Structure formats: C-alpha cells, structure tokens
Structure 1
Amino acid sequence: MKKTFAWLGTGALGAGLLIGTSSAHAAAPVLLSQNKSTTASSEGGSGYAAKYAVDGDTSTRWASVRDSDPQWIYVDLGATAQISEVKLVWDASCATAYRVQTSGDHSTWTDVYSTTSGDGGTDDLTGLKASGRYVRVYGTKRCRNTSSYGYSLQELQVYGSTGGGDTQAPTTPGNVHSTGVTSDSVTLAWDASTDDVGVAAYDIYNDGNKISEAAGTATSKTITGLTPKTQYRLTVFARDAAGNVSPSSTSVTVTTAATDDTQPPTAPANLRSTGVTSGSVSLAWDASTDNVGVTGYDVYSGGTAIVTGVKTTSTTINGLAANTSYTFTVKAKDAGNNVSDASNAVTVKTGSSSGGGVPSTITTVSSGWTIPWGMSWLPDGSALITERDSFKVFKLTQSGTKTQVGTVPNAMTTDGEGGLLGIAVSPNWSSDHYVYIMHTASEGNRIVRMTYDGSSLSGYKILVQGIKKNRYHNGGRLKFGPDGYLYATTGEAQTPDLAQDKTSLNGKILRMTTDGKPAPGNPFGTLVYSYGHRNPQGITWDPQGRLWEAEFGNSNYDEVNLIEPGKNYGWPTCEGKCSTAGMTNPKVQWPVAQASPSDITYADGALYVAALRGQRLWRIPVDGTTTGTPAAYYVNTYGRLRTVETIPGKNALWLSTTNCDNNGNQADGSDKVFRIDLK
C-alpha cells in the first residue's frame, strides 16, 4: 500500500505536521540519493548491505541485525541539498516507530518527520522543506517485534535540488567566555547566533581541530576529557542545517587546573636500546612508581616528545633517518599530568641504508624571518618568499642576501592560519614579469596577479574570488604544474560540507589558466580539479607529471595523496584510509602528532614533506604510484617546518620554519631558511 503524506508546517526543531492524503504531489523533483554512499548502524549480512537501499531496485534491500533497537541507515547526498520528498519502500520487516532526519555533518540530526504508527508498504513523504547533505531513517520500534527480525528497507529515495537553497551563514557567536574550569573540563558560554532559518549546532575548536559541539539551542557547553594543566585556545562556530558555518568567534585561552595529586612519578630507570635498524630504534626501561599510578610514558628526542602515551615499558620508534644519531630520554606521567624527571639519556645511531638521495648536510641560508610561508623560484636561482602576517614579499638569493621587494595590498590575517600565503612565479617571467599570489582579504581568500620587474612589486589584479575564509583551514599553496597551468590548494574554511560540494571552491585543488579561468580538461568544467580535501597546503609533481598533495587531518590522520582529476579524497566522510565507495584513499597517512604536513616537494626519487606539529622532515620513497616507508629527519631539531622546495638544477632543498606562529610561540624574527644537500 502506498501512503502519501503532505507537509503542512514546521516547528521549533524543523519537524512538521504530516497528514494522509490521496492526492499525489504536483511536480516531480529530482532523485538525489540513487547509488550514493550509505552508512548503516548494522547489516544483516553481505546480501543485505546498506547500498542496496539506494540502488533503485526493490528486489534488493538493506536489513539490520535481528532483535536490536534502535537501528538506522543514512545516505550521503554528496552536497547540501534542499529536500522536498523522501520515499521509503519497506520490506515486511518495517518500522512501527521511526524518524526521518537531516544533517549537515552526519553528527547533529534534525527531525523532519516522525511516526509511531508505521505499518510498512510505501511511505511517500512529500512537500518537505528541509535541507542537509545527509538523510537518515532512524527506527526505534520494529513492526515484527520478535527476536527473529530486524528492520528492512527496499528503497530509501530522497528527492529535491542541490542549488538555490539556504546559503546564508549564521552570525558569529558573541561574548565567548569561560564560566568554569576543572582539571579535565572547561565550561564555555556565548551569546546566541542568529540565522535566517535557524542555528542547528555550535562547533567548538581547539586551534584548528574540532573537539566538541553543542545543540543549536544551547549557549553553553562543558567540554570534558581534557588534560590537566594544559592550555587550550578555544573558538566557537555556529552552523545551520544546510551546513553554512559562521565566522569564528574570538579565541578564549584557558588552562585546565591541576588535580589534587601533585606528586610526579619517579623517573624511569635503565633506559637502553634493544634493537636498531636503518629506520627504527627499539627502547626499553625499568618501570616508574607513583603514589596514585603511572598512566603512560613519553619518549623524548631533542627536548620534545616524539612518542606519547606508551602503556608498557618498551616501544619501537619508526620512521627514523638512516645512519643518524638520536639521543632519547623517557618520562612517566600520571592521571594528574604530573611528569617525572627524565630517565638517563641513551644515544643510538641507526644503521646504513642502501638507498641514495637522502639528506646529508644542512646549513642556514637566512635568519630573521617571521612566519615565512610561500616560496617560488626566479630564473636566476633566487626565490620570492612571503611572510604570512606582515604581508611582505622578499627576494632571497642562494648566498643568503634578503631584500624586501614589496607588500601585498588588501591582505589581512584571520588570527589563525590566514594571511599572505602562497606565491608562484610565472613560467614566462622573463617576458611577462608576473607573479601569482594567494592571500586572505576582507571577503575571503583571493588569488591575484602582480608584476615583479626584478626589483619591486607593482600592480594588483584579482583573478579568483569566492574562496571562503575562516580562522583556520585556508589552504593557500600556489604552484605552476608541468602543463603550464596554475594550481591552488584551498581549505574548507572550517565548514566540512564545502569539501564535498563541487560547486564550492573550498576544500579543493583548483586548476586554472594565467587569467584565473578554468583550465581546459578540468573534470567539471570549472576551476575544481579534485575535491574532498580538508586543509591541503602542499602540492608537487614527480618527473612523470603525477600530482602529489599533503593535507592536514583533524584528530586522527594526516595524509599524502596522489591526485587525479575529478577524484573525491573523502573529507569529511573519511579521515585517512576508509572503505567508503567513491572515496580515494591516501598513499601515506600518519597520526596527526607526527606530521601536520604543510608543503611537499619531489627530489631524487622521493617526496619530502615539511611537518609542523611533528617538527620533522619526512622523506617518502616513490616508485611510480607506490610509496615506500617514510623516514623522519631533524626530529624536534628546528621546530615547526612549513615550506620545503627543491632548488632547480640542484640535488638540494630549501626548508623554512614557522616557529613565530601561535603554536610555535617564538619571538618575531626567530624563523630561518635552511639548505639541505642530498647525497
């Protein structure tokens, strides 16, 4: 039996009154859900996978496990949509009580329909006025309420449109402040945002990583699970059901309190090496004691923890450089974040490697920098380098002579990661004298063209606008590819849905002509070359013209991706490798503490990736499309590493730091540019 329901109104949560009607809806909207990615709470076997609910075939079906409530299934429409109809074709194992919900992030859900009197057949919910990227059916009571049955849907069909809907973001949350601090929690409060439709949720970030969220009706949130005696820099963003995200609130810096336990563990004793290879060192030590209890051990090198939270008294440190000496110590911690004195130090030299093209010597080219960011080579072997927060552009010669050549107009910071970012010298600079620059401006991020005549910058032409900005996740790398076109990386501006929205310029790699127009052969006929990116800040090409990219993850994995036109690289559905259909997995992934990668370059058979939080330079051997085992150089030696570029015609690299930013906390002028020779 087919039952058609018409939408009559909305309530406070976006739900409405639905009544039965025998009349069909007047217009036929577009089917958005067929063969899209699906996720379910469970599957009753391989023949009952979630994907069968959106395959357009009523002879197949999704079925949950038996005798378990609640159960759910959702479909990812791929972009925020305006939803006007949801059609459910139930199998005999239907739902008596269920809700249809929408979400912009598959985390916070808004009810658009609910019933406690479902009886199977076809439920055709028409006249809906909902928006979201994800649509979920959430069953709480089964029609066949015995241990032999679960829930079963033959088809979940979502109809609507993906254009012309709600595009207005909420206003910025105001007056963010802390109202309470404990050893493991912080309570934040704020003034409510407003929105033309309604605020669905508030997202709370520590620097650029989301750590909590609150309901759209809330104006406070207690964030739990924090570490005692630790500083957090917290911001709040408002989000509506369509996935539009407000600008960042002001940042609030809060330090969690100490626990009543102030006694640190004893120092680990008898630290020793138990094994060495060309790329790893195994360590062991005698256990510490504590008045309450040791919760873990951190391994240090160069004064910074490189492995944290070890639960036993041994560990193996991988990804080390061959034929290199490392000095290690270990400290114990307890639940109060009390840290022991360091163990004895042990120095270990890794074994030799048969491979070539590895870093040998490193020397300082230039010092006195403050957050150098973009770097691009001139024909004479010198480079143009941008400073993110001063908006200045400098020329740096191979001998270390540094000269300011101009300041980029209209650039501004975001008090986070925005500012003056990438720079790319025209491949035809000798004749056109053009340089291309990406920077944050009042309305968003821009790609512009200026003229550099060999001594100073002049002119200013906007090529691309409409790239949204936020405090963090602005991307920003610019480089010319071997095909002569200009490539740019853009972040999703702390609005995850934008990464999957192919009509948005955010969360993408863009490819364009020198006039800022879509390059011929782009997969969608727009500037977009690939999508599903969170915050990419590095791109490079190998000698065969393959494009490689480095990308920040949120809290789990950072990535190196092999980029192909039109491919979807997963964010926010995937962070690191996953098995979701239609998503392209990274070639390399790391825990975020080991990388937070910015720039990437290719040299002598390997990719080199500069790591910020990881404070190391990663070398990744490449053989065609296959990557080898990454090895880390200069771990915690030079601080936060931002940009790495191969010197044209040399078997050598330039590497720059950004220790003067908010996370490095060093004084202005503390950053450097190094030269690394490869052997």
Structure 2
Amino acid sequence: MRGLSLLPSHLLRIALCAALVPVASCGWTGTDEGNGGSPPGAPTGVSAAAGTATSVHVMWNTTARAKVYEVYRGTTKVMEVPGSRHMVDVTRLRPSTLYVFTVRARDAEGRLGPRSRAVRAKTPAAVAADHSAPTRPSAPRGRAAGSRAVQLSWSASTDDRGVASYDIHQGETKIHSVGGSQTAAVVTGLRPGTAYSFTVRARDAAGNVSPAAPAVRLTTPGTDDGRATAPTGFRATSHRADGAYYVDLSWVPPRVDGEVTEYQIQLDGRPATSLVYGGDAPRDLATYSFYVGRDAGIGHRVRVRAMLPDGTWGGFSAERTVTTGPGR
C-alpha cells in the first residue's frame, strides 16, 4: 500500500503534526472524513460607520464556507444575513451613542465560527425637523487598484446640519458606506476584466439622501483565468522521518485584497487535504508538510490553490513533481 491510504485520518493528523516543518503550530483544521470539516473562520476586515443618528453600516470580508452571517451589537444578535452578503445597516439605534459590533459566520451544517474583532461606531446627535438633503457629491473619480478592487474619490457634499455618511452604489445596489468626513473608499471583491459602474450619495443624520453623483465607470484589468490569484514561487521537496516520507511545500500567498486563510493541496490530480489557518495567516511565505507513505522512489505531482476572501477558489500554482528518496 502506498500514499495517504496507509494511515486513517486521525493518525494522519498526528503524522502531520510530527512533520519537521511546522504549519500554524499544528493548529490547522482540515476536512477529513469523520469530522465533517471545520467551521468557518472569523470574518476579517470588519468595519462600522454611522449612517444616520439611528443606524450604523457594518461591513466585513467574505468568509469561506459561510452560509449565514450573524451580526451582534454587544452580546445581542441583532441581524442575520445570507452568506452572499457582507454588509448590513443596523437600524433602530439611539442617537449620540457608542456601539460595539462583531460578526460570526455560520456554515450549512449550523456550525458557528469565532467572533470577529470588535469594532466601534458612535451615532451622531439627532436633528429635529430636518428635511433638507445634502448636495450632490461632485467630481467623482476612480481607478483600478489591481484586478479585484477600485479606488473611488469625490469632492465633499454640503448640508445645513452636516453630512453623516456617503453611500457607494454599484448599479442600483448599495455596496459600501463611509463616514461623512471621508471622501474616498476602496471597493474590493471585484472580478478581473469586468466593467463596473459606481455612484456616490451623501446622507445626513436625519437620513436625507442627496442625488447621486455622476457615475464612475471602470473596467478592472486582467482576465479571470486564475493566474492573478495563484500562489507563486511554489516549491516541493521530500524528507524522511521515523521510517516514513513527507512532502514539504512552500509558496508565496497570492496578492489579493483581504486575508487568505485557507488552501487546498492537490496530490496526483486529486484533493489531498485542506489547510485552514486559525490565527494569523502567513502573508509572505507559507509552508506545509504532509505524509505520503513509507516507500522510496515514488513520484508525486502536487500543486496548491487559495480560497480567496470573496469565498471563491483562486488559480492553481504551478505543478511540481517530487520523488520520495532512497530507502535507508
């Protein structure tokens, strides 16, 4: 018998943790048969900005395997949104009040991941009898920031009581919000080689909304063939320990907006295991080592791909061939 079939899943995990190259302090969680996979990770990139005197806009990066997101105000769950969304307006708040928000992801099996880091936002004071909307934002501009993000900017609106926030729309859909003191935003989670149209509206503390600024039309560069999202510098070697052979991998994580916390290792054309980082994921160099059997002279083909922050798989790295060394 050869390869991964030599050990059952629970012994394979022990063998992996005994490998010479430590990976995430053996704190990874895989998708072995019998444990049903791991729950989603904590959402990253969480932000909160007051939209009006009684609402706060909460945003986060898409999390792999999330079926539902739960949004908490303090310890109270206030909203649930489907996994296809990564923003929400929390309403019915009090003016002039500081709030703390966290987000958790829940998968299709109902397993809850850990809470995100806490973010704070303070609602502005209420304004009585305000029916005057802010002026339209002017001079909107934009540029692509890589193949999956754009940078937008505009000139500030004016309002008799002050601008509380700016809403960014993609077509007819609100996709982002920033505080009234900001006149720029980065929109992430886009696709390479795709045309987009963005507009900006100003909002005051009473919820009055300005007309939309002229649309900014941009096309992200590149093609969605996976090359822009594939790990680079991929290397594969083999070592022997305790009478068994291991494949040692290293690669440079793809440069994408957001944090890459999950990878799939493919061995001989088939998925071998998933690597999920429970803490801080590597940004400059990732390493991994796994058991492949006890026989020398066995060749293996191996490659790796990343789960992107938008919840989709990126492109595969270059494929490498590695052969277990001579017996000793």
TM-score (norm 2): 0.37
Structure with greater contact order relative to length (CA < 8 Å, sep ≥ 6): 2
Give the number of the structure whose residues are more often strand, by fraction. 1
Q: Which has the larger radius of gyration?
A: 1
